[in-house]
Amino acid sequence: MQKIINKSWGLAIASGILTYAAICNINFIFSWVCYIPFFILIYNKRKKEVFKIALVFGFTFSCLAFFWMIPGAERFTGYNMLYGLGVFLISAVFYSLFCGALLWCFSALKKTDNNLVSIITNSILAGSLFCVAEALLMLVSTGLPWFDVHSGNGLAENLYAIQPASVFGIHIMSFIVVTVNYQLAVITIKKLWRRLFMPIIVIAVYLFAGFILLQKFDSSLHANKSFNVAILAENTPPDITWDDNTGNFLVQKLLYLNRLAVTMKPDVALWSESAIPWTYTKDDDLVKEVFKITDPVRITHILGINTAYKENEVFNSAYCILPGGNVTGHYDKQYLLSFIEKPFNGWLMPFFSSKGFSALNDTAYNKPLSTPFGRAGFLICNEAAVPAAAANQVRQGAQFLFNMSNDGWFNDTYIVNLHFYYARLRAVESRKDIAINSNNGLSGLIKASGDIEEQEKGTEPFVKVVKIQPNNYKTIASSYPQIFTYFCLLCIAIICIPSLIKIRTKNDR
């Protein structure tokens, strides 16, 4: 063991691979062990060595987590693979440096004693530092969701493990994962097998708390009137352009889905993000034809279509259109993708299928929309990865959520599954049913409890009908989304301030 600890960086690589499997592929079991090899490797190492090892760990994770950028950028822009390779390398270096800085701070602040109290204290410090660092990374990379890395993502696979997110958000999940991993690593190094009860009790108490929270929510939820939503999954490859050769085929596909929905008699038809890839006008021929088909059964449409601003600048919008074609309002996407939808420092990635348009976030249209069945909150595409996006909708009165996206650019990657589980996190954090229509991705329904009621992915068009139950439930996570981050900052202060005072007193003598 000592030889491995001193000479092998293989543990850093192994930990990077396990962490990728846990975080990106949503694996509950791997979450509890993914950081163990890394914490073993850095135990009692100097800060400089810890920083180097963290770079290896971070780069290993990045190579796996960001590899999709290389072929993805080629498909997305129509340029060669070198374009994607450049984006990949910049992202990998940035995340590696983030890991290095985070673990350097932990190495500098942790207690060097080996007693039981120090082990527990250091595990809490590690969990707190990871949570605060992840919160800061999420804040500075809002438009870059590939950096939205949370150590607790893998717990979203388990219904009970996800429940504490309704109180403390995603950060409680990261805290518990890192804390347990650190304790298990020290127990392994010191062969303190009798201390295994500590992480086991932590896991057991955490899952039991999740069970209690789920039971409490289920018993407190009032039985409001539900309504049926038809998910119109067109599953159109995103790089197909609407032109004279493809236009008729694509139009007929959308009309077919509407005819199919009519046979199911839903209350609402939910389209995917920018299902109609042009801007909305009241006299749009395709929209008129859609309502001619669905008006006999009185279907309300939630339509993904852009809103015009000026040449090559649009709002990425969702419209609520009542039977007959009357628009009750529209929501414009608020959290835009940097480099892709909006320029970053004047630089915009060329968008192959739309010839370089950019999007704007019109804050005048950021509120839930009134429908005949309650107030609908919206998460368009990557907004499902942003806790603040769902929290804002709920605070403004959303009674249920719609997630409209297009995963066609990533349909052969882990991102499709990750997007769906981000939606599961938002459902629990906000305690709102969420219907998902993701072109070429996973579509379905996640209940406010976190239960995945419907989940389907296909290459052919399909219609899936789900039942949504609106509610007015307010969670602590929606009202105070950063409350656990502040708790972690307090823990860091409590742990570190006595040591700082001691050092200052020593220097004053």
Question: Where do the structural domains in the chain lie, given as residue ranges?
Answer: 2-219+483-508, 227-472
Q: Is the pLDDT of residue 222 over 70?
A: yes
**Structural contact between residues 428 and 450, judged by C-beta atoms closer than 8 angstroms:** yes
Which H/E stretch holds residue 140?
helix 116-140
Q: Is the pLDDT of residue 140 over 90?
A: no
pLDDT digits (tens, 9 = 90+) for 108-121: 999 887 788 888 99
321 forms bridges with which residues in the sheet?
Answer: 301, 327
Higher-confidence residue of 358 and 183: namely 183
**Structural contact between residues 31 and 47, judged by C-beta atoms closer than 8 angstroms:** no
Q: Is the pLDDT of residue 203 over 50?
A: yes
Q: Are strands 462-468 and 227-233 parallel, antiparallel or unpaired?
A: antiparallel
Q: Is the pLDDT of residue 351 over 50?
A: no
How many CB atoms lie under 10 A from the CB of residue 219? 7
* The pLDDT of residue 505: 54
**Structural contact between residues 403 and 438, judged by C-beta atoms closer than 8 angstroms:** yes
Residue 250 — very low, low, confident or very high, per pLDDT cuts 50/70/90? Answer: confident
* The pLDDT of residue 268: 96
DSSP, residue by residue, 178-232: HHHHHHHHHHHHHT-GGGGHHHHHHHHHHHHHHHHHHHHHHHH---PPPEEEEEE
Higher-confidence residue of 420 and 44: namely 420
Dihedral over Cα of 274, 275, 277, 281: its sign: negative
Q: What is the CATH number of domain 227-472?
A: 3.60.110.10
Least confident of 26-30, 203-207, 431-435, 498-502: 498-502
Residue 361 — very low, low, confident or very high, per pLDDT cuts 50/70/90? Answer: low
Percent of the chain exceeding pLDDT 70 equals 88
Residue 480 — very low, low, confident or very high, per pLDDT cuts 50/70/90? Answer: very high
Instruction: Give the C-alpha separation, 232 to 446, whole Å.
Output: 17
